Amino acid sequence: MIWSGILILLLAAPALAAPDRSPRPSPRPVEMVFRTSPGPVYSDAPMRPVPRPEGAAGLRPVVMVRPSPRPVKMRPVEAETRVLSRAPRGGVCGGHQIEGEALAPISGRLRGCEIARPVRVTRVSGVALKPAAVLDCSAAQALADWVENSVKPAVRRLGGGAGGLRVAAGYACRTRNNRPGGKLSEHAKGRAVDISAIVLKNGKSIPVLSGWNDVVAGKILRQVHREACGPFKTVLGPEADRYHKDHLHLDVAQRAGRYCR
């Protein structure tokens, strides 16, 4: 029995030691599938918030926002240029107190009825002329001085102060008092202006016709009439003659002295 067992083992040993050379099935190739996802897209446009999906209450989505560049404040060069190139206030007659515009030379139908350098004056010393008056610069300057040093101080406590002067006449090609064959008026040379009222800033006025003998208005009108005899060579008021009952005549006639009535 023992020998038969040993024999069986010896016969089986070569079979156990021999390698298995039977062909084996090759492994099934695995198909690799690559899914490419698009890379990040870069843009100069700012990223917009993504709306919250429905049913996601309580979840706050993370939103990436591309900051916009900070605006740069540009200096208004054009506006400044316009201001700098604007004509200065009171650009006529070489004085800042006189506002208006220069006109072409004027000549009338009568001999000597002319202005070489006329100006249409709209405002003197901040006080408007209603309507504007056509004068030469000597009359315009005298008017500005009178308004600044006499009219404005005289009415500074009434109605907010002087707002305007009512002009009855400026340049007019005519004789004195419109008399046929008479001497040429200073109005015909642009050297005279007639003022019929002082207009206050509150809209009220002090007329020469009705105010000359008034208790309050008369005092003011007589004062400015008297003080006009300085910048002007001729000053005529309601007491001068019947032609000046309703206005003050002011002129810069070329004469040695002054005539004030």
Whether residue 31 is contained in a domain is answered as: no
Q: How many other C-beta atoms lie within 10 A of the C-beta of residue 125? A: 20
The whole-model pTM stands at 0.66
Which domain, by its residues, includes 178? 94-260
Higher pLDDT, 84 or 44: 44
Long-range interactions of 98-107: CB distance < 8 A, separation 24+: 98/123, 98/124, 98/137, 98/140, 98/141, 98/144, 99/123, 99/124, 100/132, 100/140, 103/134, 106/134, 106/171, 106/190
Q: Which of 4-8, 83-87, 165-169, 251-255 has the lowest mean pLDDT?
A: 83-87
228/247 Cα distance (integer angstroms): 13
SS3 231: coil
Whether residue 161 is contained in a domain is answered as: yes
Query: Is 70's pLDDT higher than 90?
Result: no
Query: Is 59's pLDDT higher than 70?
Result: no
Q: In this structure, what are the phi and psi dihedrals at residue 191, rounded to the nearest 5 degrees?
A: -105, 10
Identify which of 195, 184, 197, 187 has the alpha carbon closest to the alpha carbon of residue 118.
187
Find the mean pLDDT for residues 191-207: 98
Provide the number of structural domains found in the chain.
1
Whether residue 154 is contained in a domain is answered as: yes
Higher pLDDT, 6 or 234: 234
Whether residue 107 is contained in a domain is answered as: yes
CATH of the domain at 201: 3.30.1380
Token digits of residue 36? 């490419």
Confidence of residue 115 (pLDDT cuts 50, 70, 90): very high
Whether residue 11 is contained in a domain is answered as: no
Largest CA distance in the chain: 184
